[in-house]
């Protein structure tokens, strides 16, 4: 459930120095950074929903990532490690609860050991904190029911409710004089030479000198609508979770991850401790038939047709056809899902889990059929587009906000 939003629905025309499209955690972080860096700047955040954080922000795992997986020197690596530190400090200052519970990435087969070593090397290069390569005895002390030959223990990884963080960002924007306009769906973008940008919304027009688009799963559509590059395209992947029953809650203490398979573009099934004390198991990764479809068989003909027309998706599908079909089959069978999870938790049984929530990952795919690994920010005069900001986007949100705010100051001539 999305958090109740203290901003009322507001209809009618608006004008602003900067409009931010998207009231997820990244859009709110951008608006907050601009408001704090440029006092007196009139800022509006527009979103089509009736409350903030209704999509990726409100439906993610809640993990504060440490910067383990990302190529050293990449934007993701830098902004994740810096963003995690900034986020922890912000939560401490705002009394937003966090739990620095730690994480183990477990090698269960000898073939995974070199990849585990490479993860450790990357983590050190990226400045991740609290790292230790451990053997099976130490692993059993941390996670008594996990199986593995060796593991990377990341003590600095934690969890948080990102909905609460987003609410804090929204409050900061409003306190600085900004406005959050809900129920404003952008259906048209008109760039007026020297006179800013007009956002055409059924609820009313928004006229802004400059615009930052943080549209998540619709980033490519608004990018094209605003005259941006055709690629990368967003391909939506749905991730379904199961939840451990109370009787099986003892099987995992915190976050237990597999060593990522280089032939598969996602992290694989893992355990995720939640702030309410529950334990999620998942997610899988299947093509979503609706960009905002959180139920298995929710279908949008428009979204499916757009995905199938995308050359990059067709190339991606051919490259990962066998694995993709395996994910699809596993998505329909709890027993197959649990059998995969038993690689990490051998004692797990199908009766130990119940169906849980689902989320949509907005994943950019290049025309060549490759998943775009790094964050992608596109800048043109008067306009900045966030074209790709999947995980660890929430962890990195404060530093993404600062990065885009600095970019906007230059692009907008503030």
Mapped to the 3 state alphabet, what secondary structure does the chain carry? CCCCCCCCCCCCCEEEEEEEECCCHHHHHHHHHHHHHCCCCCEEEEECCCCCCCCCHHHCCCEECCCCCCCCCCHHHHHHHHHHHHHHHHHHHHCCCEECCCEEEEECCHHHHHHHHHHHHHHHHHCCCCEEEECHHHHHHHCCCCCCCEEEEECCCEEECHHHHHHHHHHHHHHCCCEEEECCCCCEEEEECCCEEEEECCCCCEEEEEEEECCHHHHHHHHHHCCCCCCCEEEEEEEEEEEECHHHHHHCCCEEEECCCCCCCCCCCEEEECCCCCEEEECCCEECCCCCCCCCCCCCHHHHHHHHHCHHHHHHHHHCHHHHHHHHHHHCCHHHHHHHHCCCCCCCCHHHEEEEEEEEEEEEECCCCCECCCCEEEEECCEEEEEECCCCCCCCHHHHHHHHHHHHHHHHCC
Beta strand 206-213 with 286-287 is: unpaired
Asked if residue 250 belongs to a domain, the reply is no
pLDDT digits over 157-207, tens only?
Answer: 999 999 999 999 999 999 999 999 999 999 999 988 777 899 999 999 999
> 236: Cβ–Cβ under 8 A, 6 or more apart, which residues?
217, 287, 288, 290, 291, 293, 303, 307, 360, 361, 362, 363
Average pLDDT in the chain: 91
Is there a contact between 198 and 192 (Cβ–Cβ < 8 Å)?
Answer: yes
Greatest extent of the chain over all pairs of C-alpha atoms, in Å: 66
CA-to-CA distance for 24 and 259, rounded, in angstroms? 30
Asked if residue 388 belongs to a domain, the reply is yes
Asked if residue 27 belongs to a domain, the reply is yes
Mean pLDDT (whole number) for 36-52: 95
Is there a contact between 162 and 394 (Cβ–Cβ < 8 Å)?
Answer: yes
Which range of residues forms the domain containing residue 210? 14-57+163-232+373-412
User: Given a cut of 90, is residue 331 above it in pLDDT?
Assistant: no
CATH number at residue 168: 3.50.50.60
Is there a contact between 198 and 383 (Cβ–Cβ < 8 Å)?
Answer: no
CA-to-CA distance for 23 and 6, rounded, in angstroms? 13
The pLDDT of residue 409:
87
Residue at token pair 């055709």: 230
pLDDT digits over 279-316, tens only?
Answer: 999 898 889 999 998 988 899 999 999 999 999 999 98
Is there a contact between 63 and 157 (Cβ–Cβ < 8 Å)?
Answer: yes
308, burial (CB in 10 Å: exposed 0-12, middle 13-18, buried 19+):
exposed
Asked if residue 282 belongs to a domain, the reply is no
pTM of the model: 0.92
CA distances from 367 to 177, 207, 210, 350, 391 (A): 41, 33, 29, 40, 21
pLDDT > 90 fraction of the chain, expressed in percent and rounded:
78
Q: What is the dihedral of CA 85, 414, 203, 169, to 10 degrees?
A: 20
The pLDDT of residue 5:
45
Asked if residue 180 belongs to a domain, the reply is yes
Domain count of the fold of the chain: 1
Nearest to 218 by CA among 229, 233, 231, 228: 233
Asked if residue 359 belongs to a domain, the reply is no
CA-to-CA distance for 408 and 179, rounded, in angstroms? 19
Hey, which residues does 158 pair with through a beta bridge? 64
CA-to-CA distance for 28 and 20, rounded, in angstroms? 8
CA-to-CA distance for 52 and 292, rounded, in angstroms? 15
Residue 261 confidence class, pLDDT cut points 50, 70, 90: confident
Least confident of 150-154, 211-215, 320-324: 320-324
Residue at token pair 């943080």: 214
Least confident of 93-97, 320-324, 356-360: 320-324
Asked if residue 33 belongs to a domain, the reply is yes
pLDDT digits over 124-164, tens only?
Answer: 999 998 999 999 999 999 999 999 999 999 999 999 999 99
Residue 326 confidence class, pLDDT cut points 50, 70, 90: confident
The pLDDT of residue 265:
62
Asked if residue 220 belongs to a domain, the reply is yes
User: Given a cut of 90, is residue 329 above it in pLDDT?
Assistant: no
pLDDT digits over 363-404, tens only?
Answer: 999 999 998 989 999 888 889 999 999 889 999 999 999 999
């Amino acid at each position: 459930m999305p958090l109740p939003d203290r901003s009322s629905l507001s209809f009618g025309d608006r004008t602003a120095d900067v409009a931010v499209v998207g009231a997820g955690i990244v859009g709110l972080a951008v608006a907050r950074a601009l408001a704090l860096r440029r006092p007196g700047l009139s800022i509006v955040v527009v979103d089509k929903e009736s409350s903030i954080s209704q999509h990726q922000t409100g439906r993610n795992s809640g993990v504060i990532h440490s910067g383990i997986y990302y190529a050293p020197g990449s934007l993701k690596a830098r902004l994740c490690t810096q963003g995690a530190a900034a986020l922890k400090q912000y939560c401490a200052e705002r009394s937003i609860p966090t739990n620095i519970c730690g994480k183990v990435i477990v090698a269960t087969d000898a073939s995974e050991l070199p990849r585990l070593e490479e993860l450790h090397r990357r983590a050190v290069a990226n400045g991740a904190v609290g790292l230790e390569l451990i053997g099976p005895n130490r692993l059993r002390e941390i996670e008594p029911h996990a199986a593995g030959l060796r593991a990377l223990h990341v003590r600095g990884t934690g969890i948080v409710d990102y909905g609460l963080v987003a609410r804090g960002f929204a409050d900061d924007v409003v306190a600085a004089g900004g406005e959050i306009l809900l129920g404003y769906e952008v259906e048209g973008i008109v760039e007026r030479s020297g006179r800013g940008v007009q956002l055409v919304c059924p609820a009313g027009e928004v006229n802004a000198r400059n615009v930052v688009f943080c549209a998540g799963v619709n980033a490519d559509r608004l990018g094209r609508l605003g005259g941006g590059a055709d690629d990368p395209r967003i391909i939506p992947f749905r991730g379904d979770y199961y939840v451990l029953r109370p009787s099986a809650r003892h099987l995992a203490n915190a976050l237990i991850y597999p060593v990522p398979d280089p032939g598969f573009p996602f992290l694989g099934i893992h355990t995720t401790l939640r702030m309410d004390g529950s334990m999620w198991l998942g997610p899988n990764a299947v093509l979503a038939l609706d960009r905002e479809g959180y139920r298995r068989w929710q279908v949008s003909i428009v979204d499916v047709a757009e995905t199938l027309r995308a050359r990059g998706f067709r190339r991606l599908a051919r490259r990962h056809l066998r694995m993709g079909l395996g994910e699809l089959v596993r998505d329909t069978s709890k027993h197959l899902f649990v059998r995969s999870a038993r690689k990490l938790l051998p004692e797990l049984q199908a009766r130990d889990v119940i169906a849980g929530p689902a989320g949509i990952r907005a994943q950019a795919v290049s025309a060549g059929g490759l998943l775009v690994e790094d964050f992608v920010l596109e800048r043109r005069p008067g306009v900045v587009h966030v074209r790709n900001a999947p995980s660890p986007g929430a962890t990195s949100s404060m530093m993404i906000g600062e990065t885009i705010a600095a970019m906007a100051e230059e692009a907008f001539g503030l």
